[in-house]
Structure 1
Amino acid sequence: MTSDMGNLTDAAGLSLVADIGGTNTRVALARGPVVDRATVMRHANADHPDLASVLAQYLAQSDIAADQISGICVAAAGPVHDGVAQLTNLDWQIDRATLGRTLGTEKVAVLNDLQAQGHAIGHIDAADLDIIIAQPDAPAHAAKLVVGLGTGFNACPVFDTSAGRFVPPSEAGHVSLPALGGAMADLTGAMMRDFGFASVEEVLSGRGISYLHRVLHGQMAEPAEIMASLAQGEAKASQTAAAFVQIMGTVVGDLALAHLPFGGIYLVGGVTRAFGPYLDRFGFADHLRAKGRFAGFMDRFGVFVVRDDYAALTGCASHLAKL
């Protein structure tokens, strides 16, 4: 959420938040739970050996000294264990203790990127939420689910408890792809041949779009090329997109049954936003509900596409403000 924070260099409680993806890292300044979007900078990871280099460049460009930062929270696209994150699609390791020493602060948090998205729920403007399935009435403390499709795939539940919000980490992208029928019946066999394991992320991700297109049509194409052809109504791209949405609906439906997010399902990430306009056309809701005798039960879960590209930064700021 945008806020006129005035002269940030004079602000008490100034914090640094970062969203580390497989390709880019975005860094911003925040005060309390509010991110100043005017301070967001995007850095290409390929131009830096590690996160410390990114942060040093950001502070230099912002004309802010490290000792002006009272806390830092980073969201990393990879598993986090005991304050250490290992990026899945980037050879970086983020260590909470090292990060604290680098900036001279003890208020440090390292989150999985989906955890950060979970902490952002409730702090996102309604204008940045596209309703895919209307949310039924539910108590404020009802569990929620965040599902992210981008460079990779992940999902995590969000629990609001008497002790505060709890967003447990997860690596849901590396579970087995569910069995599929029809034109997709041969997909698992192809993935076993090509990868040795048929995981969700190898299909429901940026690279997954290209892989699915190759399995269906025997030709390689970049995701941007496929999406551009889809916008023009090209038949092969439409078939790829329809299959992608079918699998997406099936997997999200499985996750909904695993976590029972009566407070809503929030779809995030660049790939999600790219497919947002096509979810209704290709029957996302029908595939989500296709659970046999539990089909009616699936109507209890609302689904939203989050169009706020800074949600992970907001989640970092919100989490850090409560430490």
Structure 2
Amino acid sequence: MPKSFIPIAFPQQTPPPEGAVILAADIGGTKADLAFFEIKNSEPVLVKEQRYPSKEWNSFVEMAQDFNKNTTRPQRICVSFAGPVRDGKAHGTNLHWEIDSREISEKLNIRPVFLINDLEANCYGLAALKTDDLLMICPGKNHEAGNAAVISPGTGLGEGGLFWDGQAYRPFATEGGHSHFAARNELDWELFLFLEKKYGHVSWERVVSGPGICMIFSFFRDVKGWEAPGILKTEMKAHDPAAAIAIAATEGCPVCQETLRLFMKYLAEEAANLALKLKATGGIYLGGGILPKIWNETHQAIFNEYFFAVGRLDPLVEAAPVYLILNQKTALWGAGYYGAFGGV
């Protein structure tokens, strides 16, 4: 069993034989990271990795065959996938793939093959983190051991839980990012109506994600009449539009700054919801690829303003320490660790 300063319980304590190789993958709606982990001194060590654009490939099997060419075949596979996993199968939420662990096993002739949700992998990946992989946002008052949670905005909004069994955390997946968005004031309600007209159902993922940043920006521009610099339109077409908005915010663009203010407000509100629902006194971990790139003192102040505004149960939320995960390969490491210590 791997030892770390965040104790994570895995299904199996005994690692594969020394030198065994695990193919781990973290597949999201935009990108897919594949890596080989080799067992050294009873723990997985990353030895090779490569990034693929998810939507340019038809299947994980094709990716794996490309990644594995001219190398020794791995003994195990673990795939972290952005979508609900049921009976070893999943359909992508933001990637139109069907993925089946049994089919992967048959086509690649490798056993075992584990398929886990990406936020479950993110939770397992906490086992691989060092102290400098985390930034403390709030220390927590009267901190006590208890459940924890991970919330990760990216192409979508992932949410995962960690049940505290008294000695270690036991990760589990959720699809909480698809629960109903809750408007709290008139501006929220206007945004809700704007999104409802476009999507029908409005979930937290529609506002707390990369595409969510773009939707909030569109709302301010098209509904509220805020002006945006002409160059921004060009940058949004040429590059990742959410990233272009974030960069423009740092350069003083008012509509972009207001967009990120609302994004951070909604992140804080849903993180607080998660803390309450899971009684996460053990901690809230902010993950995903967006936050480490945009986090600053202004955003931290916005987060703190809204995270603690939960009414009568303020003390429960105040007890939860909040951390920003700086290591953007946490889910990939989680897949590597689960590949080594998952149940066979």
SS in 1 for 2:295: helix
Q: Distance in 2 between matches of 1:318 and 1:136?
A: 32
Q: Distance in 2 between matches of 1:294 and 1:314?
A: 35
Q: Distance in 2 between matches of 1:109 and 1:284?
A: 36
Moved more, 218-227 or 94-103: 218-227
How far the C-alpha of 1:286 sits from its partner, in A, is: 1.7
How far the C-alpha of 1:162 sits from its partner, in A, is: 7.5
SS in 1 for 2:282: coil
How far the C-alpha of 1:147 sits from its partner, in A, is: 0.6
1:173-226 Cα deviation digits (max 9, x unpaired): 211001221532311111211111111111111111010011122277521221
Residue matched to 1:58 = 67
1:151-180 Cα deviation digits (max 9, x unpaired): 000201112437975322211121100122
- Is 1:211 aligned to residue 215 of structure 2? yes
Residue matched to 2:9 = none
- Is 1:70 aligned to residue 69 of structure 2? no
Query: Is the alpha carbon distance of 1:260 and 1:24 closer, same or farther for their aligned partners in structure 2, counting shifts above 3 Å?
Result: same
How far the C-alpha of 1:31 sits from its partner, in A, is: 2.6
Residue matched to 1:25 = 32
Q: Is the 8 Å Cα contact of residues 84 and 117 (structure 2) preserved in structure 1?
A: yes
Residue matched to 2:5 = none
Task: Please point out which of 162, 184, 187 is paired with 1:183.
Answer: 187
TM-score (norm 1): 0.89
Q: Distance in 2 between matches of 1:137 and 1:281?
A: 21
After superposition, residues 213-292 of structure 1 pair within 5 angstroms as 213-218=217-222, 222-277=241-296, 280-292=299-311
How far the C-alpha of 1:227 sits from its partner, in A, is: 0.7
How far the C-alpha of 1:319 sits from its partner, in A, is: 1.7
Q: How many residues align?
A: 309
How far the C-alpha of 1:137 sits from its partner, in A, is: 6.3
Query: Is the alpha carbon distance of 1:171 and 1:237 closer, same or farther for their aligned partners in structure 2, counting shifts above 3 Å?
Result: same
How far the C-alpha of 1:124 sits from its partner, in A, is: 0.5
1:211-248 Cα deviation digits (max 9, x unpaired): 00111222775212211111112211111111111111
Q: Distance in 2 between matches of 1:165 and 1:317?
A: 18
Q: Distance in 1 between matches of 2:276 and 2:18?
A: 45
Q: Distance in 1 between matches of 2:179 and 2:19?
A: 44
How far the C-alpha of 1:312 sits from its partner, in A, is: 0.8
Mark the runs of 5 or more structure 1 residues left unpaired by the alignment: 2-9
How far the C-alpha of 1:276 sits from its partner, in A, is: 2.2
SS in 1 for 2:35: strand
Q: Is the 8 Å Cα contact of residues 245 and 282 (structure 1) preserved in structure 2?
A: no
Residue matched to 2:11 = none
Moved more, 95-104 or 14-23: 95-104
Residue matched to 1:7 = none
TM-score (norm 2): 0.83
Residue matched to 1:4 = none
Q: Distance in 1 between matches of 2:340 and 2:187?
A: 49
Residue matched to 1:295 = 314
Q: Over aligned residues, Cα RMSD in angstroms?
A: 2.3
Q: Is the 8 Å Cα contact of residues 22 and 340 (structure 2) preserved in structure 1?
A: no
Mark the runs of 5 or more structure 2 residues left unpaired by the alignment: 3-16, 223-227
Query: Is the alpha carbon distance of 1:151 and 1:315 closer, same or farther for their aligned partners in structure 2, counting shifts above 3 Å?
Result: same
Identity value in percent: 25
SS in 2 for 1:72: strand
